[in-house]
Structure 1
Amino acid sequence: MFFIYGLDEDNIRKSKKRFYFIGGLMTLLGIIALAMPLLVSFAIETLIGIILMVTALSQAIASYRGFADGDKPWQEVIMTIIAFVAGFIFLAKPMAGALTIAFLHSFYFFLEGIFKLLEYFALRKIYGSIWMLFSGIIALFLAFAMWNNLITAASMIGIVFGVNLLFGGISFLLIGYGCSKYKA
């Protein structure tokens, strides 16, 4: 993630500030999400619905211009319809959108957990790297918990998002602290 060029002292010194900044921001956002989980769940779902509707509008304009130029952009028309229907469902049927997001979140947390475990093995010589391992295990646990309970997971999106941000932020803060103690 941050040590793409190796664990030399100069790179670690530069990375320390990034770990502190990202860790602090993630921790703060995690606390906010845990304080208002339902609001966060529906805010995420609504934002995705709006993005899909804007996407559908831009694709419709591109399709219209394509037909006006004599082209036959049928794939663009199909993608316009898909984006519009998906955006409409997200905005008109929040529960269906929340279930979709819950499924996607479980997949995201699964991938994040795998990558954090890989990051831990790259950083295990640095003090505090055990928290990266812990964060990866938490992300995998959240992925499987959401996958096994998609119906109630719709209301858990904000909580899961907050827990993941909180533990991810703490792990980055502790890695930043470990960077200040690291000696090659």
Structure 2
Amino acid sequence: MENKIIHDVNITGITVHNIDSSSGIFVGINNANYWTSQLKANQGFGPLSSSQAIQNINVVVDNDCIDAPIENNVQIPNRQDFIGVDVKKADEAALVNHHNIIQEINNIDVDAINVFSMDTNAAISVGENVLDGWSAHSKRNEGTGRSMGITEQILNTNIIMDQDIIDAQMNDVKITK
């Protein structure tokens, strides 16, 4: 494996319209391990981006007996408390498994990061970060999905019927080895 040393990273700007669940912008040496995301979504009319929606009737009927049971069992390796621990040394074993990993960055210069929308469990990480075991689980009923950009909605009707007996039961268990 070839060790690389980068002395300067200069980024003029990063513009992102949407960072979805369990996603991110990572600049530098970042370890995002054991992330999970589970989603159940019902939409009468999907997402809109720089659009116009006029006189729509959106109906979502979601009356299951048990709706969106989410079982998430993640096994995360046992780590030391990172207070006072050199992160490079703590994560060296994880980095060795990747080819052409940048081992050292002396300077990261980011002029601007513009994000218009971030969803659950999204991240913007600059520098050296360890982001282990993030979980995002959700159930959504939306008459009209997310609106992004310049979106105009006129005289729309959204009807959502979600008469579940058990709705969005989530069991998120993290097990450390």
Fold shared by both chains (TM-score > 0.5): no
Q: TM-score, normalised by structure 1?
A: 0.20
Q: What TM-score, normalized by structure 2, do the two folds share? A: 0.21
Higher helix share: 1
